Amino acid sequence: MRCPFCGHDDTQVKDSRPTEDSAAIRRRRQCPACGGRFTTFERVQLRELIIVKKTGRKEPFERDKLARSIEIACRKRPVEAERIERLVNGVVRQLESLGEAEIDVGVVGELVMEALQSLDPVAYIRFASVYRDFREAKDFETFVGGLSEAVSGTKGKAD
């Protein structure tokens, strides 16, 4: 691991332990050249995932890109960073467990929407507006109207 301070290639691990959700290993490192200390988080990647875009273009799956899009949807919402991290980990695990090296971008979007729907309704609508490419206010009305019907239909059955 390269030192972020001086660029030295051979840093030493001083401490290793799993993160709270056991999705990564936290390592405290020290550079023998400059004495700088830093932390890394290492994740096990079961296979290299390739995302197939709507245009047919293929690109490597980027966990950080997925996390950023979810964080943007949750911005200024009462959702803890830990819950977002768990959601991202869950989506990544689901993608890895599909057993496919190439995954359609639509599969990723649907998994995220499903997870966000139970996490925060506003974040769900925000993500859906980008993912489903809402162009007009009536697109929001139609989508939210469908949500309202689904929720009231569910409540009516429970009563």
Structure token pair of residue 56:
């047919």
What is the structure's pLDDT at 46? 60
Q: What is the pLDDT of residue 128?
A: 87
Residue 27 has a pLDDT of: 93
Q: Would you say 1 and 40 are in contact if contact means Cβ atoms under 8 Å apart?
A: yes
pLDDT of residue 149: 63
What predicted TM-score, i.e. pTM, was given to this entire model?
Answer: 0.65
**Nearest C-alpha neighbor of 58 from the set 48, 67, 69:** 48
Q: Where are the domains of the chain?
A: 12-42, 50-135
- Give the pLDDT means over successive 10-residue stretches in the chain (159 positions): 92 90 86 94 77 95 94 95 92 90 94 94 90 82 73 49
Percent of the chain that is helix, strand, coil (3-state, to 5): 50, 20, 35
Query: What is the model's pLDDT at position 157?
Result: 47
Q: Give 124: exposed, middle or buried? Use CB within 10 Å, 0-12, 13-18, 19+.
A: buried
Encoded tokens for 69: 């899009």
